[in-house]
Every structure is written in structure tokens, then in C-alpha cells.
Chain A
Amino acid sequence: MRVPQFGLRSVRHKLLAGVLLTSMAALLVTGVAMLIYDLRSYHETQVNDLTTQAEIVGRSSAAALQFDDSKFAGDNLALLSSRPGIRAGAIYNARGALFASYVRKGTDRNALPLLPETDGVHIKGETLDIYRRVVENGEILGTVYLQSHYEFYERLWSYVAIVLGVSALALAVSWLLSLWLQASVTRPILDVTGVARNVVERRDYTLRATKSTDDEIGYLVDAFNDMLAEIGRRTEAMETSNRELERQIAERSEAERALRDSERRNRTLVNATTSVVWTADGNKLFSTEQLAWAQYTGQPPDECHGKGWRKALHADDCELMDGKWAGAADAKEPFECEVRLWHAASAGYRFVSLRAAPVLDAEAGVVEWIGTVTDIHDRRHAEEEIRTLNAELEERVRNRTEELQSTNKELESFSYSVSHDLRAPLRAIDGYSQMLEEDYRERLDGEGQRLLQVVRQEASKMGHLIDDLLAFSKLSRKPVDTSGDVDMTHLAKDVAEELMREREVERVRLDIWPLPSVRGDRALLRQVWVNLISNALKYSGSKPRSEILVTGEVTNGAATYRIADNGVGFDMKYAAKLFGVFQRLHKSDEFEGTGVGLAIVQRVVTRHGGSVRADSKVGEGATFYFTLPVRTEND
């Protein structure tokens, strides 16, 4: 919107023009009125004055006229010299002859009329003439004539000059006044106009006009500001609404596009997946031509009309379809059933999925049914094949598992018997070595005694190994009794005390914090503690001071126990091997042990339904965790 530049039409100029015109008009009217009044009064005064003078001259000259004394009359006229305005005077006798005259110095003597005229006043240019009859006792004695200087035009011009001068002065004063008025009246208006111009140009409705007066303009400014605020609010609301509308339109067009896409997709899908689409009327009769149906079944159009379409169905499936359809008609819901339908192309029945949905009118009555026929024959065959294959597979797995289990049992009993049978010769080796050591000590030299000692140690080690193996294999065979409550704190402390008995207490710091109790096999769990604590003691033995901390907590229905040491630790890439049988991460000459301990720990914990893991870094100690389920009374 273009903001007009008001130029000469501006209020400022109008106000100025108003003030000036008003002053001019007032001055002119006053001046003209005064001029008229003054000139009139001047005229009247002059005329009256001259009339009076003529009267006086006439009166005082009446006797002179009556008694024909022109000298006295002349003396009377000569008195007029005291009146500078009167230029000439004359007295005519009753017969009209000049009787006496007076002419002021510097005035033309011929100015006197030769004959008197009738009573009256005559103005000729700057001359005022008056004739006055002298009447005494009803008789006309003569006529007095007086001629006066009439300053009418001089006065007029001087008056006009004064009026013009005063007008000029008044205009100047008016100009100053209007400047002041502009400050007090126009400037607030101009301010508002300026703000209005800015608002229009910048569309910034936060602008406000400054209120500087408490009059109507001040009120106008307030009203203008309120209006701006209101417009601002409305504009904002409108913009918000516009944005909302735009968003809605965008959403709607997006939705429409999505709908179109969806519709196209659906149409494509229908075309791709459905071989037949059909419609039946409310009474389940084909009332219109069903090309797709006729093409699939090979029925001529007139044959499938009415109830004829049912003939294409396998006779055994009609009952199933009727039942489902009746239910759907009652509930006014779509239905689906799998039936066999005659397929003309393959000349046989094929499994199809027959679906139909009711089309309802305004009163919720079924007007028509729209249905599809989807060929599921191949799918159905594939499904059946998969079912057969699955059954075969399950059978094979079962057989294999049984085989494995029996093999496993055989292996276990074998290993048990081997272990058991190995103990007897081992005991013999140990017993005979002992006897040899006791009875033939003096016959053996030092080297013989050392070798004998080695035999005994190795036999003992092997005994331990066999014990462990037996215990391990026993764990596999025996069911675990988890009915008893086990006080883990007590158990761990008991084990620790026992293990500490064999060591230098002062270089070991072993702290056991209160541990959660669990249900389980006390003997087996004791073995777990023995293995883990002895492990910790063993691998931290190389440190100047062993520090072992045992803690436990219950989280999410499981008790987790933690055994941390400051020992040599291990590389985490071998963590998977840690809990295997005979899997050792360190050489046996470095740390003694059979390599079965952690395997036993894992097996015990696993059989209690828990889990084991370890965390470490080489040289920075290791931490073992095992978790056992906490069974409440309800379990």
C-alpha cells in the first residue's frame, strides 16, 4: 500500500491556512467595517459640521441680509478663517445676487458659484459644497454657501494602508501562533501520521504513537494505539489461523495423496492377488453379469445367474459356506471361508478363499454383498508339505537326542568306572612308595629318596585329579537337591577360615560382606566357594599382600555373588575357555591345580539354574561373578 505524501493537503498546511485565512477574514471584515463606519461618520460629521456652520453663518447674517449690510455679513464670513477646513464661503441675497464672500488664502476665487442652488449638500471630488437658505420669520432672506475640503479619499487610502499594514503584522503574528499551534496540535497528529505510515509500510503492529497531550489528540493517540494493538492481535491470530490452515491443507493434500496411493496400491493389489471379484444381491443371488466368476469357473453367464453360481462349488463345502454366510448376514459382518471351487482351466476343484462383505444401506439393511475369490490351492499344498517335513524333522531330532543321551550315559559311567578303577592301582603305588620310603630309607641315597618323593607327590596329585573328575561326573548324574536354605555368609566365612588355616594370615586380607541366602545343595555350594576363594588366594599369592573381597546383592529376583582379587588376572580373550574342563590359562608349574575347579563351579551353578562369568585384565586382578535364582516361599 502506497503511503500518500500529503503535501499542501497536510493538516499542518490546512491549519496554517485556516489560521491565516481566519485572521485575514477577521481583519478584513473589521477593517472594512471600521472603514465604512469611520468614513460614514466622517461624512456625517463633516456634513453636520458644515450645516451647523452654515446655519450659524446664516443666523448671524440674517440681520445683515435684512438690513442689506454686506460688510457685516463679510465680517461674519471672515470668521471662517478660524476653520482651516472651510475653503470658501458666500452669502447670496434673496434675489440670488452675491451678497458677501470669503475665500481662504490659496483658493481660487472663481470657486464661488455665480448663483446659489437650492438647499443641499454636494460632493465634487475633494470638495464639499453646502447651500443653506437663511429664513427669518418665514421669509427667505438669502442663501449661505460654504465650501469645505472633503478628505474622504485621503482618509480612505490612509485607512486602506493602515488595514493592509495591520493585516501584514497580524499575518506575521498568526504565522508565529500557527507555529506554536503546530507544536501543540499538529505535531501529535504528525507523530500519529508518521507511526501510521511506518505501520503501513513495515506492517509492524508493535509500533506505538507517543501520547504528548491530554486533549482530544491524546485520546486519539490512545485510541490509535489500542486499535494498533487490536490489529496486531487480530493479525497474529489470523496468521496463526493461516498457518494452521496451511498446515491442515498440507496435511489434507498429503492425506489425499496417500489415499490415492493407497487406492492405487489396493487396486493393484486386488488385481494382483485376487483372481475373481463378484457381487451378489441381498438374497445371495447373482443378479448382474459376473465376468470374472464365469471366466474362473467356466460357467456361462446365464448359468451362474441367480442361485446357479453354487453349482461351481464342491458339494461338500456348500454347507460350510452357508453356515458362515448366514452368521455374517445376521451380524452384518464380512466372512471368509475356504472352499473348493471348480476351475475351468485346470478342469478340477481348487482350494479358494471365498470372502464377502455386506454393503449396508442407511437403515443397516444388507443391500448387496461384494466378494472375492482368492486361489489358495498352491499355498495350501505348500503348507501341507511344510507340515510333513517338520514332523519328519522332529522325529529325527528326537531319535538323535535319544542316541546322544544313551551315549552320554555310557560315557559317564565309563569315565566313572575308569576313574574308580584308576584309584586302586594309584593307592597301591602310593602305599608301596610309602613302605619303600619308610623301610628302605637308609639304603637309598639322596637322589633315590627325592625320586621316591616325586613319585608320591605325583600319585597324590593324580588322586586329587581322579577325585575331582569323580565329583564332576557325579554332578552330571545326580539330581541337585535345592530344597534346603543355605546361609551363604556363614558358608563363605567357614570356607575362608578353613582355607586360611594353611596360610600366612598377615599377608592376606580377606573381607566377606553379608551375603544373600539362597536355596540349594549346601555341599555343592560349599565346593563353589572353596574353588573360587582358593582360586583367588592362589592367583594373588604372587602379590606382596593378597586382597580379596566377597560381596553379594539381590537384583531382579537373582542373587549375584562377587569374588574380587588383586591377583595376576587373565586376558579376556580366553574368558570363554575359563570354565572348561582341563582348561588352564596358566602353566601348572606356575600355579598348582587340576584344571577342573572352575568347571565344577560352572556345573554346580548351572544345575542350580544360575550362571557364571568372569571379568579381568592381565596384572590387574580378576573378578568372578555367579548368580543364583532366589526362590521365594511361593516358588
Chain B
Amino acid sequence: MASRIARVAAAVLLLLGACWAAMAADDSPESLEQQVKAAFLFKFIGYVEWPAEAFADPGSPLVIGVAGDDSLAQELGRVIARRTMNGRAVSVRQLRSGESLAGIHMLFASRSQLARLGELSAHPRPVLAVTDVAKGLEQGSAINFVTAGNRVRFEVSLDAAKRNGLKIGAPLLSVAMRVQE
């Protein structure tokens, strides 16, 4: 009898815990947008083809560098959470100012870190640059988030990707809001 009461009590506690966690999560519109963007970032990996020399060895992880947006980096970390993409492990790195892009495969540059795109333009390397600014593609990024009518969309620059030796899959292009040749 005692053990049964203990088990019911444990279940109630667990339920209460879950409710608290849900309430604790920030579900403001800004936070939801950050979550969608983090998920998109992760999903982009599946539609982009990196050259083989971009990885030290076939088993090495794909690294997403997040520059200037720690909350996104954290959110991305939650999205990834030991998930793999195409059999490759994915990891997130918060890039500090001046930190080298070496070992980075995807770079998210926040509005404040757009300068990072200059490095890529100067020294093209297989890094997918993603931005979240108006006219981001003109700044040299390959994918740029656009918020249209309460929904997160994105636009793609094939030229930027090509410049950095990357191929972007047709399905991604088909769902892009705009594709710049």
C-alpha cells in the first residue's frame, strides 16, 4: 500500500515538473522566432553539399559557428542535442570577436557581426554564410532569413554559395522565398 502511494506521488511530482518546465520556457514571439531559425539552421545542413576537403576526415563533425547571437546559439544547441545530419555529428560554436573561421562549416552572422562576411568574401572557403538582415544576400551571405507576415522565410544566393564551393539542393531552393542567381 505504501509503495503504491509512493508511486502515485512520484507520478504527480513528475507531472508538476513538466508543467513547470513548459511554463519556464519563453514563448514570447521573439523566442519562437529564435526557435524556428535554430531549427531552420539545422535543417539547412541536409540540403547543402560541402566539398570533401571541408572536413578533416569523413567522421569529423559539422560545426555551426554562431557569431553575435548567443541565445540563438543556445537554442541551436538544444535543437541539435546529439542529433546527426546525414550521418555526421553536428556541433555549435559561439564565435567570439576575432575568432578564426577555421573548422567552421556554417556561419550565422548576426546584424552586429556582418563583418565576418567580409572575411569570407576576401578568402572564399567552404562555409555557408547565413544572415538575418535586410538585404543580407547583397552583404555576401548565401542564405538570409526574412520574416514575412508572421512567418520565417528565407532567401538564397546561389552565387554566394558557389563562390564558397558549396552546392545548395533544389528542394531548398523550391521552398526559398527568393533565389538570387
Query: Which A residues have a C-beta under 8 Å from some C-beta of B?
Result: 60, 62-64, 66-69, 72, 136-137
Contacting residues, chain B, for A63 (C-beta < 8 A): 47, 171-172, 174-175
* Chain B, range 156-181, C-beta contacts under 8 Å to A: 171-172, 174-175
Known: A62-B171, A66-B46. 13 other contacts (CB 8 A): A63-B171, A63-B174, A63-B175, A64-B175, A66-B175, A67-B43, A67-B153, A67-B172, A68-B151, A136-B46, A137-B46, A137-B84, A137-B86
Set B47, B151, B174: member contacting A72, Cβ < 8 A: B174
- Measured CA separation A69–B174 after assembly (Å): 10
A-B contact count (CB 8 A): 30
Q: Are the C-beta atoms of A67 and B40 separated by less than 8 Å? A: yes
Q: Does B154 sit at the interface, judged by CB under 8 A? A: yes
* Chain B, range 94-113, C-beta contacts under 8 Å to A: none
Binary contact track B129-164/A, C-beta < 8 Å → 1, others 0: 000000000000000000000011110000000000
- Measured CA separation A62–B152 after assembly (Å): 17
Q: Does B63 sit at the interface, judged by CB under 8 A? A: no
Contacting residues, chain A, for B43 (C-beta < 8 A): 66-67
Q: Are the C-beta atoms of A72 and B86 separated by less than 8 Å? A: no
- Measured CA separation A66–B85 after assembly (Å): 14
Q: Considering only CB atoms, which chain B residue lies closest to A72 in the complex?
A: B175
Query: In angstroms, how far is the closest chain A Cβ from the Cβ of B181?
Result: 19
Q: Are the C-beta atoms of A137 and B85 separated by less than 8 Å? A: yes
- Measured CA separation A66–B171 after assembly (Å): 10
Q: Which interface residue of A66, A67, A69 has the most chain B CB atoms within 10 A?
A: A67
- Measured CA separation A137–B47 after assembly (Å): 11
Q: Are A67 and B175 also in contact (CB < 8 A) when A137-B85, A137-B86 are?
A: yes
Contacting residues, chain B, for A66 (C-beta < 8 A): 43, 46, 175
Contacting residues, chain B, for A72 (C-beta < 8 A): 174-175
Q: Considering only CB atoms, which chain B residue lies closest to A64 in the complex?
A: B175
Contacting residues, chain A, for B171 (C-beta < 8 A): 60, 62-63
Contacting residues, chain B, for A69 (C-beta < 8 A): 153, 175
Cross-chain pairs A/B with CB under 8 angstroms, 20 sampled: A62-B171, A63-B47, A63-B171, A63-B172, A63-B174, A63-B175, A64-B174, A64-B175, A66-B46, A66-B175, A67-B43, A68-B36, A68-B151, A69-B153, A69-B175, A72-B175, A137-B46, A137-B84, A137-B85, A137-B86
Contacting residues, chain B, for A137 (C-beta < 8 A): 46, 84-86
Contacting residues, chain A, for B86 (C-beta < 8 A): 137
Binary contact track B10-23/A, C-beta < 8 Å → 1, others 0: 00000000000000
- Measured CA separation A64–B172 after assembly (Å): 8
Contacting residues, chain A, for B85 (C-beta < 8 A): 137
Contacting residues, chain B, for A136 (C-beta < 8 A): 46
- Measured CA separation A64–B84 after assembly (Å): 20
Q: Considering only CB atoms, which chain B residue lies closest to A139 in the complex?
A: B83
Q: Considering only CB atoms, which chain B residue lies closest to A60 in the complex?
A: B171
Q: Considering only CB atoms, which chain B residue lies closest to A141 in the complex?
A: B43
Query: In angstroms, how far is the closest chain B Cβ from the Cβ of A30?
Result: 49
- Measured CA separation A251–B24 after assembly (Å): 143
Contacting residues, chain A, for B153 (C-beta < 8 A): 67, 69
Q: Which interface residue of A64, A69, A137 has the most chain B CB atoms within 10 A?
A: A137
Q: Considering only CB atoms, which chain A residue lies closest to B152 in the complex?
A: A68
Query: In angstroms, how far is the closest chain A Cβ from the Cβ of B145?
Result: 11
* Chain B, range 31-84, C-beta contacts under 8 Å to A: 36, 40, 43, 46-47, 84
Q: Considering only CB atoms, which chain A residue lies closest to B47 in the complex?
A: A63
Query: In angstroms, how far is the closest chain A Cβ from the Cβ of B163?
Result: 23
Query: In angstroms, how far is the closest chain B Cβ from the Cβ of A495?
Result: 177
- Measured CA separation A458–B70 after assembly (Å): 224
Contacting residues, chain B, for A68 (C-beta < 8 A): 36, 151-152
- Measured CA separation A72–B46 after assembly (Å): 18
Query: In angstroms, how far is the closest chain A Cβ from the Cβ of B144?
Result: 14
Query: In angstroms, how far is the closest chain A Cβ from the Cβ of B89?
Result: 13
Q: Considering only CB atoms, which chain B residue lies closest to A62 in the complex?
A: B171
Q: Considering only CB atoms, which chain B residue lies closest to A136 in the complex?
A: B46
Contacting residues, chain A, for B174 (C-beta < 8 A): 63-64, 72
Q: Considering only CB atoms, which chain A residue lies closest to B46 in the complex?
A: A137
Q: Are the C-beta atoms of A67 and B46 separated by less than 8 Å? A: no
Query: In angstroms, how far is the closest chain A Cβ from the Cβ of B117?
Result: 23
- Measured CA separation A62–B153 after assembly (Å): 16
Q: Considering only CB atoms, which chain A residue lies closest to B173 in the complex?
A: A63
Q: Considering only CB atoms, which chain A residue lies closest to B39 in the complex?
A: A66
- Measured CA separation A192–B117 after assembly (Å): 111
- Measured CA separation A392–B46 after assembly (Å): 184
The 6 closest A-B pairs by CB, nearest first: A63-B171, A69-B175, A67-B175, A63-B175, A66-B43, A72-B175
Contacting residues, chain A, for B154 (C-beta < 8 A): 67
Contacting residues, chain A, for B175 (C-beta < 8 A): 63-64, 66-67, 69, 72
- Measured CA separation A67–B37 after assembly (Å): 10
Query: In angstroms, how far is the closest chain A Cβ from the Cβ of B161?
Result: 16
Query: In angstroms, how far is the closest chain B Cβ from the Cβ of A139?
Result: 8
- Measured CA separation A136–B154 after assembly (Å): 20
Query: In angstroms, how far is the closest chain B Cβ from the Cβ of A375?
Result: 156
Contacting residues, chain A, for B152 (C-beta < 8 A): 68
Contacting residues, chain A, for B40 (C-beta < 8 A): 67
Query: In angstroms, how far is the closest chain B Cβ from the Cβ of A366?
Result: 141
Contacting residues, chain A, for B172 (C-beta < 8 A): 63, 67
- Measured CA separation A64–B171 after assembly (Å): 8
- Measured CA separation A137–B169 after assembly (Å): 15
- Measured CA separation A304–B175 after assembly (Å): 167
Q: Considering only CB atoms, which chain B residue lies closest to A76 in the complex?
A: B174
- Measured CA separation A137–B152 after assembly (Å): 22
Contacting residues, chain B, for A64 (C-beta < 8 A): 174-175
Q: Considering only CB atoms, which chain B residue lies closest to A65 in the complex?
A: B175
- Measured CA separation A66–B154 after assembly (Å): 13
- Measured CA separation A72–B47 after assembly (Å): 17
Q: Considering only CB atoms, which chain B residue lies closest to A70 in the complex?
A: B151
Query: In angstroms, how far is the closest chain A Cβ from the Cβ of B129?
Result: 18
Query: In angstroms, how far is the closest chain A Cβ from the Cβ of B177?
Result: 9
Contacting residues, chain B, for A62 (C-beta < 8 A): 171
Query: In angstroms, how far is the closest chain A Cβ from the Cβ of B173?
Result: 9
Q: Considering only CB atoms, which chain A residue lies closest to B151 in the complex?
A: A68
- Measured CA separation A68–B47 after assembly (Å): 15
Q: Which interface residue of A60, A63, A64, A69 has the most chain B CB atoms within 10 A?
A: A63
Query: In angstroms, how far is the closest chain B Cβ from the Cβ of A517?
Result: 168
Contacting residues, chain A, for B46 (C-beta < 8 A): 66, 136-137
Contacting residues, chain A, for B47 (C-beta < 8 A): 63
Query: In angstroms, how far is the closest chain A Cβ from the Cβ of B167?
Result: 15
Q: Considering only CB atoms, which chain A residue lies closest to B85 in the complex?
A: A137
Query: In angstroms, how far is the closest chain B Cβ from the Cβ of A65?
Result: 9
Contacting residues, chain B, for A67 (C-beta < 8 A): 40, 43, 153-154, 172, 175
- Measured CA separation A64–B40 after assembly (Å): 12
Query: In angstroms, how far is the closest chain A Cβ from the Cβ of B106?
Result: 16
Q: Considering only CB atoms, which chain B residue lies closest to A75 in the complex?
A: B174
Contacting residues, chain B, for A60 (C-beta < 8 A): 171
Query: In angstroms, how far is the closest chain B Cβ from the Cβ of A70?
Result: 10
Query: In angstroms, how far is the closest chain B Cβ from the Cβ of A2?
Result: 93
Query: In angstroms, how far is the closest chain B Cβ from the Cβ of A558?
Result: 163
Q: Considering only CB atoms, which chain A residue lies closest to B176 in the complex?
A: A67
- Measured CA separation A436–B174 after assembly (Å): 213
Query: In angstroms, how far is the closest chain A Cβ from the Cβ of B26?
Result: 20
- Measured CA separation A63–B170 after assembly (Å): 10
Query: In angstroms, how far is the closest chain B Cβ from the Cβ of A138?
Result: 8
- Measured CA separation A137–B90 after assembly (Å): 13
